[in-house]
Amino acid sequence: MAVLEISDLIAAWDPGTGARQPIAVADVTGRLRAAGDHRAARIVERMPATSGVLEPESVDRLLVRVHTELQRLAEELHMAERFVELLRPMLDAARSAGFRRLRVVDIGCGIGYVIRWLATTRVLGADVELLGVDQNPVLIAEASRLALDEGLPCGFACADAFALAEDATVYISSGVLHHFPVDELGDFFRAQDRPGTAGFIHYDIAATRLAPAGAWVFHRARMRELLGRHDGVNSARRAHGDRTLVTAAGQVGTMDIFLFAPIRHTNPFCAAMRPVVGIRPELSPALRRLLGRRARALHGTDDPVPSLRAAT
């Protein structure tokens, strides 16, 4: 039975025209109840609606509040610092190999926390362009507003990351992979095999056996919005296993693929985040050298951690 997130169902825009599409409450609750998720259906039924159609302004305010709460969780999980641990050596390797224009694109950036943090700290260097993209115009508007208020050197665009005029040197994302069905993951990774791209870093929830319970405790304690609590747990339930992700990323035949993970879980009750990493083979030695001892956390299919050996 499908595991659904409410936030995926309550807002939609025409991909061709960008026009907002009306969302009927009955359509959303019908899908949720068909999936056996009656609690989620009750959450949607309590949302403001006119003539059976969800009120767009209320939906927008709710999604911004939820993503603001998600930013607090990202801060507590040190997500920006986790990206820097891999981004900085990957960009340094690209510089050494002669990449002239360095660009980091955050796919599905929401309200842009990671990009804004990188712009605030300038930890990657002044020569790195920072861009967040998301297909939700409301979240992009909020990300842009926050960056403007803070005077940050970064940009945001409501767009398909793979339809931009310029390639990213490194594509990144956080909590995006579990939104793709298994049979679409290969297309997502293959889209990043571009002439100007050195690699990618995609963090998602580690699909451990106890991740849903850990997500329930974490979101119950830290989030106020019922939608956020619901979707946070279902995100952990939808998370793909390590072998599934690495196998899908391996369809990019021109990159070395790794899972960046500690040998052992430090706390199995937490839905910890960990990334799938892709990098051009000619840059791999430099990445390992720049990571130093931390390179031992890079696990490829020829040196797998147990989760990569296990069947999915």
Q: Are 204 and 245 in contact (CB under 8 A)?
A: yes
Closest C-alpha among 155, 107, 114, 152 to residue 134: 107
CA distance 119 to 154: 6
CA distance 42 to 34: 13
Report pLDDT for 244. 93
Report pLDDT for 304. 61
pTM, rounded to two decimals: 0.92
**Strands 273-279 and 199-205, sheet pairing:** antiparallel
Query: ∠ CA(75), CA(79), CA(81), 5° rounding?
Result: 100
CA distance 20 to 211: 35
Report pLDDT for 311. 46
Report pLDDT for 263. 58
Report pLDDT for 307. 67
DSSP 10-53: S--B-TTT--B---BHHHHHHHHHHTT-HHHHHHHHTS-EETTE
Give the mean pLDDT per block of 10 residues along the chain (312 residues): 92 88 97 96 96 97 95 92 97 95 96 98 96 96 97 96 95 96 96 96 90 84 89 91 93 93 58 88 97 91 66 44
Residues in the chain: 312
Count of CA atoms in the C-beta half-sphere (13 A) of 49: 19
Report pLDDT for 207. 87
